[in-house]
Amino acid sequence: MTVLFYILSAIMIVSALFVVFSKNPINSVIYLIVCFIAMAGHYILLNAQFLAVVHIIVYTGAIMVLFLFVIMLLNLNKAIIPQKSRITRISAVITGGIFFLVLLAATRQTFEIHAKNTFASDIGLVSNVGKTLFRDFLLPFEISSVLFISSMVGAVMFGKKEATT
Amino acid sequence: MKEIASAIQLIPLWYYIMLSSALFSIGLMGVLFRRNIIVILMCIELMFNSVNLLLTAFSAYHSDPAGQVFVFFIMIVAAAEVAVGLSIVVMMKRNVESVDINLLHRLKW
Amino acid sequence: MVETSSVLNLSWLVPAFPLAGFVIIGLGNKHLKNHIAGVIASTMTLLSFLMTCVLFFTFSSSGNQAVTQTLFSWISLGEMHISFAFLVDHLSLTMMLIITGVGTLIHVYSIGYMRADERFNTFFAQMNLFTFSMLLLVMAANYLLLFVGWEGVGLCSYLLIGFWYKNNSNNYAARKAFVMNRIGDLGFILGIILIFYTFKSVSFQEVFTKASAVQHGGTLITLITLLLLVGALGKSAQIPLYTWLPDAMAGPTPVSALIHAATMVTAGIYMIARSSILYNLAPLTLDIIIVIGLSTAILAALIGLKQNDIKKVLAYSTVSQLGYMFLALGLGAYSSAVFHVTTHAFFKALLFLGAGSIIHAMGGEQDIRQMGGLRKKMPITFYTFLVATFAISGIPPLSGFFSKDLILTQAYERSPLLFSVALFGAMLTCFYMFRLLFLVFFGEKRFVNLHVHESPKVMIIPLVILGVLSVIGGFLNIPALFGGKSEFTAYLKTSITSIELNGTSISTEWILIAFSLALVGAVIWGAWNNYVKKEHIPNADDQPMRLLPKLLYKRFYIDEAYSFLFEKPYNFLSGFFSEKIENNVLNPIIDGTGSITLRLGTYLRRLQQGNMSFYLFAMVAGILLFIVFILIV
């Protein structure tokens, strides 16, 4: 089972790197989709079944498709955008690396932590997630609908063509 | 199920922390690296996902379902944000005729 | 009869009148017309004079010796308590009478002399200010207030010398006077500081009572008296600080009469006489004063022999007479010095006013080679000038004879060598004064196209009054030799402590007097012979001269020497600092500070270009730093 973990992690990281370094935005989208699918595999490994499914539906099915729509709509696959200057790219890579190191340094005390002995492995099941959602987190759930309305309104408003004055 | 439970016990938590940190920093690198706004937005999505993964791992290790519910909410917000963000990209394309972020330099006033 | 003490309490009125005159004329400078300002100024000094006379008579009738009137506490700082106080005693009364009396006459004279000047009002305002400062000086009860008056007269001297400021050389002369005075003032200030350090007070009464505890001839008291002497040297134009006085003749003649003959230059002598107790404790300083005074007297007399400007001759004569006063001070005969101050005020002021009358009549001409034969045209001026010349030459029974003879006798008591040198100087004085008289008033007239007439009454009357004073002034102090009681010296005994000298025998005194009178007669005959009989006129400037006359005429090149030794290096330093350091070091520092700020701004401006990627970078960097900071701290 741990082998599965390593394989999925490798796929995720490699595809993430390709997302960043590929020239064509369509390729970046494809690689991101691969990364998301690997992430869904990780969720299943952690027995978060509800999340895995929702992840695939929302992220891979909706968001990435939206990205693809926009790219195709604006004909961005044909546009060639020059890259940033070499110094900027190198410093970006270095910054990323430093950030990684800092995060690791911040969390090095967790190297000794192991899982608790008694734990319930079924918290990721749909019924349990549903129970927690609708009991403890009902209010945020309702307010998120407001959030959606506002984002829909915003998206529509942005998309409207301005009246020529 | 039993195998999954035992599998979780085998993988120490800090593996997930390291994985999540790597993903986050790759996403960060991508934000600073690329010039295309859409790819930048995608790298931001990558950072979101790294956080989701970490939260789920912690929730599994502490047997706390609140973590997974939180991830659910993060996904909601991410979806809404992508919608609005992409419409802004469309507007930008309409105004500046390109999606290069270096062409947006009017934030100095 | 008014209460004595209440009259004495009004002593502050004496300086208050001229101060009021200054304020009134100063405020009404643009509005006063028709010479009203002159009348106001003269009235104010006249009122001061009358008040001084009242004080004088009150003093003599009540037998008071010294009265201190404290107006207010001036400085009160830790141990230092200095009050604004007036000390009225015999010495200051004498000086006050001279200042206000002669001052009034000169103010009246100036109404006529400055009649046509456009800055008439300013002149009288400054003259009144001068009178006020001089009165402050002589009435002060402590050294610091004296110094205030000292500086005040220095300022007024500067203002009045450079009165005709449109001419640049007048400004240089005024500046020269002020700077040389300042050099002396430095010594004076150091002296006052040392006095305070030694005696913990600067008030006259306290210092003089504590002075008896100081070691006689010790270094401390010698240092104090030397420093005070430096101040007196600057103010009273002795070697080496005397070159400003001849140049100060650039001012109007009444100014020369009042400031540089009768009053301001005598401030140094007054100060030393006032500090007689201190000087008696420092015999070394007294010897130095003798040397300086005598050498100045001789040097100035030698230079005066060959000068051709009427005011310059009188200026060098003043320096020479001041040298005599210093000689008297150095001998310890302070009251003789003050007596000579009094008589000198009379005849020197008269000489200057007479010279002013001549210059006024000659339309501004000051060169005696262009004059001649004025005796018939300006009789009153001639006669008063004659009286003054007799007085300064020491011909009895005029005032100058008594005062000068007193000094010479006391010099003889000290050492016959001193007497002979001083006598030589007196002969020189006699010679150059008579040379001046003969060249100006006698002989054929050497000027053309000038209508010369006697001056108006407002200028003549002060001349006459001063002439009378020059004649009778000597009778104030008739020595025992002639049957008198030396009232002046006795009067001043209460304020000054003179060094008592053993009196010479009567026969010696008679011999000395006869000897000096014989020499005087010979000198006058020699001058008459040269300048009237032989009609010897001094050469024009471009004619060659032999070495000795040339040296005298060029004033021993001392002015040039000072210019070379002091002015040139100073100007060089000043130019150096101005150009090299100011331009190359200081200005770049200041400009550099500004440009650093500008450049910093240019760099910092790049932080906010609106560049999106840079903002992202900055955000990440900030977060990084924040996390690192939390980790470390």
**Which two tokens mark A153?**
């309104």
Residue C543's pLDDT band, with cuts at 50, 70 and 90, is low
Q: Tell me whether residues B6 and A1 touch, CB distance under 8 A.
A: yes
Does the pTM surpass 0.80? The reply is no
User: Do A6 and A57 fall into the same domain?
Assistant: yes
User: Do A71 and A5 fall into the same domain?
Assistant: yes
Alpha carbons A102 and C130: distance in angstroms, whole number: 84
Most confident of B4-18, C228-242, C445-459, C479-493: C228-242
Q: Which of C493, C512, C539 is the last residue of a domain?
A: C539
Q: Which of A84, A99, A102 sits opposite C613 (nearest CB)?
A: A84
The ipTM assigned to this model is 0.88
The total of other beta-carbon atoms located within 10 Å of residue A62's CB is 14
pLDDT at res. C444: 76
Residue A26 lies in a domain: yes
Structural domain of A149? 121-159
Residue C495 lies in a domain: yes
pLDDT at res. C480: 65
The helix (run of H) or strand (run of E) holding residue C138 is: helix C120-139
Mean pLDDT across the stretch C12-25? 90
Alpha carbons C518 and C532: distance in angstroms, whole number: 21
All structural domains of chain B with their residue ranges: 2-103
Residue A128 lies in a domain: yes
pLDDT in tens, A37-58: 999 999 988 888 899 999 999 9
Q: Which of A27, A60, A80 is the last residue of a domain?
A: A80
Would you say residue C1 has pLDDT above 50? no
pLDDT at res. C22: 92
Q: In Å, what is the CA distance from C497 to each residue of C126, C282, C333, C336, C500?
A: 35, 13, 9, 12, 9
A28 in contact with B at a CB cutoff of 8 Å? Answer: yes
- Span B2-103 CATH architecture: Orthogonal Bundle (1.10)
Alpha carbons C94 and C477: distance in angstroms, whole number: 13
Residue A65 lies in a domain: yes
CATH of the domain at A9: 1.20.120.1200
pLDDT at res. C607: 75
Cβ burial, residue C493 (10 Å; 0-12/13-18/19+): middle
pLDDT in tens, C376-416: 888 888 889 999 999 988 888 788 888 888 888 888 888 88
Residue A2's pLDDT band, with cuts at 50, 70 and 90, is confident
Would you say residue A32 has pLDDT above 90? yes
Q: Which residues pair with C367 in a beta bridge?
A: C309
Looking at the structure of chain C, the number of domains it has is 2
Mean pLDDT across the stretch B76-100? 88
H helices within C415-496, ranges in order? Answer: 416-441, 457-472, 487-492
User: Do C345 and C422 fall into the same domain?
Assistant: yes
DSSP string, C321-369: HHHHHHHHHHTT-HHHHHHHHHHHHHHHHHHHHHHHHHHHHTTS--BGG
Cβ contacts (< 8 Å) between A83 and chain C: which residues?
A: none
More confident residue, A117 or C530: C530
User: Do C458 and C599 fall into the same domain?
Assistant: no
Q: Tell me whether residues C620 and A84 touch, CB distance under 8 A.
A: no
Most confident of A146-150, A157-161, B88-92, C399-403: A146-150
Residue C150 lies in a domain: no
CB C375 within 8 A of CB C441: yes
Structural domain of C342? 282-539
Q: Which residues pair with C84 in a beta bridge?
A: C72
Closest CA to C412 of C393, C432, C426, C397: C426
Task: Report the mean per-residue pLDDT for chain A.
Answer: 86
Looking at the structure of chain A, the number of domains it has is 2
Residue C336 lies in a domain: yes
Task: Report the mean per-residue pLDDT for chain B.
Answer: 86
Closest CA–CA distance from residue A106 to any residue of chain C (Å): 7
Residue C229 lies in a domain: no
User: Do A128 and A56 fall into the same domain?
Assistant: no
User: Do A1 and A76 fall into the same domain?
Assistant: yes
User: Do A2 and A76 fall into the same domain?
Assistant: yes
Residue C61's pLDDT band, with cuts at 50, 70 and 90, is confident
Q: Which of A20, A63, A148 sits opposite B26 (nearest CB)?
A: A20
Cβ contacts (< 8 Å) between B108 and chain C: which residues?
A: 608-610
Strands C66-77 and C80-89: antiparallel
Closest CA–CA distance from residue C624 to any residue of chain B (Å): 12
Sign of the dihedral defined by the CA atoms of residues C266, C457, C454, C523, in that order: negative
Alpha carbons A104 and A93: distance in angstroms, whole number: 17
Residue C244 lies in a domain: no
Q: Which of C610, C613, C616 sits opposite B106 (nearest CB)?
A: C610
Residue C338 lies in a domain: yes
Residue A92 lies in a domain: no
User: Do A2 and A71 fall into the same domain?
Assistant: yes
DSSP tag of C451: -
Q: In Å, what is the CA distance from C168 to each residue of C13, C366, C426, C619?
A: 38, 19, 36, 71
Alpha carbons C50 and C90: distance in angstroms, whole number: 16
The residue of chain A nearest to residue C617, with distances taken between CA atoms, is: A92
Cα C285 off chain centre by: 21
Question: By a Cβ cutoff of 8 Å, what residues of chain A touch chain C?
Answer: 84, 88, 91-92, 95, 98-99, 102-103, 105-106
Would you say residue A89 has pLDDT above 80? yes
pLDDT in tens, C109-136: 998 888 888 888 889 999 999 999 999 9
B101 in contact with A at a CB cutoff of 8 Å? Answer: no
Residue C50 lies in a domain: no
Q: Which of A21, A56, A80 is the last residue of a domain?
A: A80
**Cis omega (within 30 of 0) for bond into C416:** no
Residues in chain C, overall count? 633
